[in-house]
Amino acid sequence: MRRLIPVLTLCLMLMMTGCSAALPFNKVVFTTGFEKDEVFRIEDSTCTLSEAMVYLVGTQGGYEKTFGKDIWNADTDSGTVEQRLKDSVLAKIAQIKVMNLLARENGIELDQSEEQQVLEAAQEYYDTLTDADIAAMNGVTVQDMEGIIREQAIADKLYDYIIRDINPEISDDEARTITVEQIFIKTYSLDGEGNKVPFSDDEKDAAYRRCREIFKNLLNGGSFEELMAQYNEADEGTISFGKGEKDAEFETAAFNLGTEQTSEIIETQDGYAILKCISTFNREETEANKVKIVAQRKREVFGAQYDAFVATLTKQLNQKLWDSVELVDDENVTTTGFMEVYEQYFHS
């Protein structure tokens, strides 16, 4: 279960792809002047409980399908996974609301064809819902779904508008991905909750001596692959990566190797490593890395404009109502969210 937490956390973060890391509710004005079932308000844009439950129930169903129902009871350093899910869903909806406000300022709206897609997508998704699904979503209506899908489409359209001219040229060197084999000796242990505990100085010295003996074996003609199979304590033996993805010491040593060359002993934050370069340039992965770098540059450009806009807005959160919301425990609730239908209509 513990090993699933980082995976799930990453998945929840990816829900917010396209938005910056700054969440709209970092600075909140708490009020008691909410309408019934109003979860939050950003300027004149509101989120109802039905809307929040559409996201929450759908996302819950998707993750339970992948990780199982027991995932929500797991503890993390910052609360349960259930609370992380609620926080991420709240942030996701708030970001969409902010993006719609920003779209309005930029005069961005859906055309007639896109509006028709909204109606069709909402109806198609709504037709898949069981009575239990609708009840879990606080009695959501097809009109509610139209509003949710419309705002999602406008948010996507805003993102495309802001990054429309961002298409940087990424050189092979900047995106270069290399492949190495590694023999890694850890200088930490894990406690009962899976947290890293650094070795004592004596334990670290012992780890270094073990790595040095392996290195001497290599100098005497030992097989790197055989020694890797015997001594490597990393999860993987062969790894491919680009610049900026590893510790500075690890990366510098790796990128200075020629094909079939072996490194000296490298000290990293978590241990000692010896590397053997398998390929100094992986064309396929380098091209894929270029796509990732361009996408990251676009997110940075969008994020800068998004953050500046968020800072000007008044945000009001109905904390009491949101705290009262719990995940649904009903086997008759089967929906895994509307995004699959949405993607068919807007990204196919």
How many domains does one find in the chain? 2
Neighbours of 152 (CB within 10 A): 19
Same structural domain, 251 and 302: no
Structure confidence at residue 82 as a pLDDT band (50, 70, 90): confident
Tokens of 155: 């948010």
Same structural domain, 159 and 73: yes
Same structural domain, 218 and 137: no
Domain of 218, in residue numbers? 177-280
Same structural domain, 123 and 199: no
What is the per-residue pLDDT for 28? Answer: 54
pLDDT in tens, 88-145: 999 999 999 999 999 999 999 999 999 999 999 999 999 999 999 999 999 999 999 9
Q: What is the CATH number of the domain that holds 208?
A: 3.10.50.40
Residue 63 falls within a domain, yes or no?
Answer: yes
Structure confidence at residue 20 as a pLDDT band (50, 70, 90): very low
Residue 325 falls within a domain, yes or no?
Answer: yes
What is the per-residue pLDDT for 80? Answer: 78
Structure confidence at residue 150 as a pLDDT band (50, 70, 90): very high
Same structural domain, 88 and 26: yes
Same structural domain, 17 and 151: yes
Residue 241 falls within a domain, yes or no?
Answer: yes
CA distance 315 to 70: 34
Handedness of CA 337, 341, 344, 346 (dihedral sign): negative
Please name the residues in contact with 26: beta carbons below 8 A apart, sequence gap of 6 or more: none
Question: Taking 80 as the threshold, does the pLDDT of residue 13 lie above it?
Answer: no
